A and B are shown apart, each in its own frame.
Chain A
């Protein structure tokens, strides 16, 4: 290509020449895609060859075989005689269990610390700043190992630390009183859920009516009836007994109650504290992004500060907060895979054991990736829906 030849204007004209934009574009695509396909094909043919040499059969048939691996901490019924498929499902549930509870707790803690950072109380805001700085600048894996070592250093079950009656913290983990989830209790919980959904629908209708005539309407009397009254009625009607199971020390361990294993508890604490530091920064910058005039205008109307924060600043701050919050939720979920370092059996840990037992490396890693891609996609979709809901409606 010489500089004196005039360049062809981009358009429908076709010429087989490198100076033709469309031709060059097509050529580039063919070359790049060709290289990508060639590399993948080469890797694949190597893999097929290596697998046949090592006599490893490919495919997911191994999922139906007996797993023979013990899983200590599970919510589903599982024994080592179960299949690999069942073990994987237990792993997925364990991952979701730590991720879902972690997301909720990290959001609550992070929001509190983010607001504390903006407090007019100097001591509180400095303390929050130190918390954020220290937790953000140390690797999560190190923090996780640290918490786990601390958990192991706790006294034995006999000398368990007991902050309130029925709550024990020892090197066996955290033991809490629990309510049995079965029979009539389930119906009561279902009634509470129905009440909550009803409340939500009612709130929307009340707001819609307020839009019409400007009269504010009270929600809480209805809410009381729906959320407390309805379950109480069901409970009374069915004659459900609400016995709380208190954990008891028998021999070397606890019987009854809800036990959070040291591994689960360490992982949860590490994930929640680490992620909350990031969420705190997001909340802080979100609140600061709301123009000062909004504060001033609301204060000039004589509203209380907590009311201003809740009804005027927060709804606007949420629009800034939600997108980065989504990526923190995704990070927390992905970071829960560090469970393997302390021996909490999440999906990665179980896939890793499977891989060592069967040699099905490609399948095991593909399963891990499929699970996480699905979870990531789910969280993204939900957060996008929520983001669209709270977005500013512009004309």
Chain B
């Protein structure tokens, strides 16, 4: 291991140099400062360059040079011939409609596509601080309504599609978004309850949060898929997707409650006292004074919780709900394409990565802004 520095604050040697050099000189000085500053550092650099060059070469060879981008029909013999030497990207154009939208009727797939775009627009809108107002709740309600209409249909011109046929990316987004939309208010209530002066309410909230956080998400999903029907009266038959959705709301509620509680603790006591002095009721005090400040404190950790939550929706694979990961895994059951799962997983991984990376970049920017003010 090389030596540790506090890189950002440490002025680089070439920044201090008195004489200005040519670009070539600057490059050499940069290389000397950052790659070859000492003997161990030089050894590490050379080793890494060697390993990276080798990995890069074999990756390019596999992913581009030897790769097959399309095959006629379902004839994958050409792909099989180069298995291990080159990627078979032909599987992606062949299967991407199924991976993205599952078994949704083929000629109607513009609807889930539009729903997905609505989701992305909704996320984009919610990320702008200028939209952080009460009206945002109405925008969310309207958007979720539109998405429901698009997915279910049942209007003239939009034939009804039952949720057994939903699949792929929209299902992932639905599980994550509705989980958050309902989990968030639940989390606020539980966080308030956990800080309440009333012992019975406080212990109820502690029990809920610790129980949910202490067990793996899979056991909650098993509960939703096998235990939930046992707990319902005769004749009540709740759809599998909705049961998983309820499990996700309960799960998100517990984790969000802990984040929000952290924010509540950061609000100074004086704010409580001032609100009490104005004669505000408990709900007025929290809704108007405390929560707006508390939530602003914890926006970056909230976004991190959203990222974790978005990734966790993939666990529904285990109870057989057709989210993005399940459709990907199902797509390669097809015997002709069976041996090209690596390509499919890379494709789906890229989609997940795009969403999570955007969110984590956003969270980091917010943190930087909060740090600079």
Residues on A facing B (Cβ under 8 Å): 7, 25, 28-29, 32-33, 36, 43-44, 46-47, 49-51, 53, 112, 115-116, 118-125, 127, 133-134, 136-143, 145-146, 149-150, 153, 287-288, 292, 295, 305-306, 309, 313, 334-335, 337-338, 340-341, 348, 352, 355, 361-362, 365, 368-369, 372-373, 376-377
Contact = CB atoms under 8 A, between A and B. Distances in A.
A121 B352 contact: no
Nearest to A341: B318
B282 to A, nearest CB: 9
A50 B353 contact: no
Interface stretch (B74-82, B124-132, B342-350): B342-350
Contacts of A51: 230
Contacts of B348: 142
B2 to A, nearest CB: 5
24 contacts: A28-B198, A32-B200, A112-B1, A120-B7, A120-B10, A120-B34, A121-B2, A121-B35, A137-B357, A138-B311, A139-B325, A141-B315, A141-B317, A141-B325, A142-B325, A142-B349, A143-B349, A145-B329, A149-B342, A337-B216, A352-B222, A361-B226, A365-B223, A369-B211
A137 B350 CA distance: 9
Given A43-B231, A46-B231, A365-B227, A133 B3 contact: no
Closest 6 CB pairs of A and B: A122-B34, A137-B356, A139-B311, A334-B216, A337-B216, A29-B200
Contact of B201 (A29, A338, A372): A29
B360 interface: yes
Interface in B318-373: 318, 325, 329, 341-342, 345-346, 348-349, 352-353, 356-357, 360
A115 B211 CA distance: 35
Contacts of B345: 142, 145-146, 149
B4 A355 contact: no
A149 B341 contact: yes
A128 to B, nearest CB: 11
B215 A119 contact: no
B325 to A, nearest CB: 6
Contact of B4 (A7, A119, A146, A361): A119
Interface string B217-230: 11100110011011
Contacts of A139: 311-312, 314, 325, 352
Contacts of A25: 197-198
B4 A373 contact: no
Interface string B189-214: 00000000111110010000001001
Interface stretch (B41-49, B87-95, B157-165): B41-49
A204 B229 CA distance: 58
Contacts, number: 187
A368 B222 contact: yes
A352 B320 CA distance: 14
Contacts of A337: 216, 218-219
B107 interface: no
Contact of A123 (B35, B234, B312): B35
Interface string B16-59: 00000000000000000011010001001100110010000000
B279 interface: yes
A138 B1 contact: no
Contacts of A127: 48, 52
A46 B325 CA distance: 34
A334 B220 CA distance: 12
Given A134-B353, A145-B325, A341-B318, 11 more contacts: A25-B198, A29-B200, A32-B204, A121-B2, A123-B49, A124-B48, A145-B329, A338-B315, A355-B226, A362-B230, A369-B214
Residue picked from B218, B234, B279, most chain A C-beta under 10 Å: B218
Contacts of B346: 146
B238 interface: no
Contacts of A125: 7
Given A25-B197, A362-B230, A133 B357 contact: yes
Count class of interface residues, chain B = 35 or more
Contacts of B41: 119-121
Interface in B285-333: 307, 311-312, 314-315, 317-318, 325, 329
B9 interface: yes
B49 A373 contact: no
Contact of A372 (B216, B232, B233): B216
B5 interface: yes
A355 B2 CA distance: 52
B135 interface: no
A265 B314 CA distance: 21
Contacts of B226: 355, 361, 365
A138 B230 CA distance: 35
Given A28-B198, A368-B222, A372-B219, A146 B353 contact: no
Interface in B258-272: none
A84 B311 CA distance: 33
Contacts of B2: 119-121, 124
A57 B332 CA distance: 41
A150 B35 CA distance: 34
A156 B112 CA distance: 43
B171 to A, nearest CB: 14
B218 A348 contact: yes
A123 B49 CA distance: 8
Nearest to B222: A365
A144 to B, nearest CB: 10
Contact of A138 (B231, B318, B356): B356
Interface in B236-265: none
Nearest to B307: A137
A136 B311 CA distance: 10
B357 A348 contact: no
A279 B37 CA distance: 28
Contact of B311 (A36, A124, A140): A140
Contact of B219 (A49, A153, A348): A348
A306 B219 contact: no
Contacts of B230: 46-47, 50-51, 361-362
